[in-house]
Amino acid sequence: MNSHMSAFMDYLDFEKGLSVNTRAAYSRDLGKFFGFIKETQKYNSLDEITKHDIIAFLAWQMDSGAEYSTIARSLSSIKTFYKFLVLDGFIAINPAGDLETPKIKRKLPRVLSVEEVDKLMEVPNVILPLGLRDRAMLELMYGTGIRVSELLSLQVDDINLTAGFLRCFGKGRKERIIPVNQTAIDWVHRYLARSRNLLVKANSERTLFLNSRGRTLSRQGFFKILTGYVQTADIHKDVTPHTLRHSFATHLLENGADLRAVQEMLGHADISTTQIYTHLTRSRLREVYQQFHPRA
């Protein structure tokens, strides 16, 4: 089992190009599955596991109170693992082959209003090096819609301040080019001119945004920074780094942006992923209608 899992992790890394966090999620899901099999069955090999064992595991998760999204992700991990085993000739029959992943109704993402974004951006003390860095990060994240992992992995050479574009690598290490608005360009320029040289410790370091020790800022570090600013701005919403990405997409569509263009900027492989934001804009239209139409 360990050798199969090791080979599968290599496959996810080198052939699928998945991130460390995604690979860890696969590993956790499969660990729970095989832990369940070990406790309930006396099998000696993968070949003995059947479709009914997989269904029993999913039913056990449901009885344990797991969210439907968690159960769907578990099945997706199992299906991907068994598909890999068949393709590489480790087993002959895929017990998960004809199991369908349940369609989960997506929750509408929480977004900030334009006014709340403005309040958030004004909080960092830009007189201080770290405050200026934080303002540049927030402006760039909201101005481009990039993921927090993409933001923190940006290199100095990945952003062209003159042309107004940045290059980032998304899921599956897919490269995309995104336009950057002038406001974000100005703040990044100020950060590079006044702050980054005070934070960097080694001339060879090319990561754009650095922590106080001159190293790459962690996701946990960014989340802590954002949470502090949200509280100071007196914004009473659960705001995560992804909220800025959701707000970016929603505000573009509310102002008439093309859905395909937003899809490309977000790096969504399937436009159905982007279409969730159209539900938000329709909700906003209904609110406006109810508020302003004389017969609403």
Q: Nearest to residue 280, comparing CAs of 256, 260, 251, 258?
A: 251
CB-CB contact of 33 with 57 (8 Å):
yes
- pLDDT 10s per residue in the chain (296 long)? 678 888 999 889 888 888 888 899 999 999 999 999 888 887 777 888 989 999 989 889 888 888 778 888 899 999 999 999 998 888 888 898 888 766 655 566 788 999 999 999 999 999 999 999 999 999 999 999 998 989 999 999 999 999 999 998 877 777 889 899 999 999 999 999 999 999 999 889 999 999 999 999 998 999 999 999 999 999 999 898 889 988 998 888 888 878 788 888 887 776 666 666 666 555 555 554 466 545 44
Residue 35 CB burial class (10 angstroms; 0-12, 13-18, ≥19):
exposed
Q: Considering just the CA atoms, what is the radius of gyration of the chain in Å?
A: 23
Q: Is the C-alpha dihedral spanning 288, 291, 294, 296 positive or negative?
A: positive
Given the residues 133, 196, 245, 246, the one annotated as active site: 245
The enclosing H or E element of 178 equals strand 175-179
Q: What is the structure's pLDDT at 42?
A: 78
Q: What is the structure's pLDDT at 260?
A: 83
Q: Is 232 helix (H, G, I), strand (E, B) or coil?
A: helix
Given the residues 147, 196, 246, 251, the one annotated as active site: 147
Q: Is 189 a catalytic residue?
A: no
How far apart CA 139 and CA 186 sit, in angstroms, is 10
Q: What is the structure's pLDDT at 17?
A: 83
pLDDT in tens, 179-195: 999 999 999 999 999 99
User: Ramachandran region of residue 132, left (φ > 0), alpha (ψ -120 to 50) or beta?
Assistant: alpha
Say yes or no: domain 2-87 is CATH 1.10.150. Answer: yes
Q: What superfamily in CATH does domain 114-292 come from?
A: Intergrase catalytic core (1.10.443.10)
The enclosing H or E element of 159 equals strand 159-160
Q: What is the structure's pLDDT at 296?
A: 46
Given the residues 83, 106, 242, 286, the one annotated as active site: 242
pLDDT in tens, 63-111: 888 877 888 889 999 999 999 999 888 888 889 888 876 665 556 678 8
Q: Is 286 a catalytic residue?
A: no
Q: Is the C-alpha dihedral spanning 62, 66, 67, 69 positive or negative?
A: negative
Amino acid in position 24 = A
Given the residues 167, 190, 268, 284, the one annotated as active site: 268
Q: Is 107 a catalytic residue?
A: no
Q: Do domains 2-87 and 114-292 have the same CATH topology?
A: no
Task: Show me where the domains of the chain are located.
Answer: 2-87, 114-292
Q: Is 106 a catalytic residue?
A: no
Q: Is 245 a catalytic residue?
A: yes
Given the residues 82, 142, 229, 277, the one annotated as active site: 277
Q: Is 268 a catalytic residue?
A: yes
Given the residues 171, 176, 194, 219, the one annotated as active site: 171
Greatest Cα-to-Cα distance within the chain, rounded to the nearest angstrom: 72
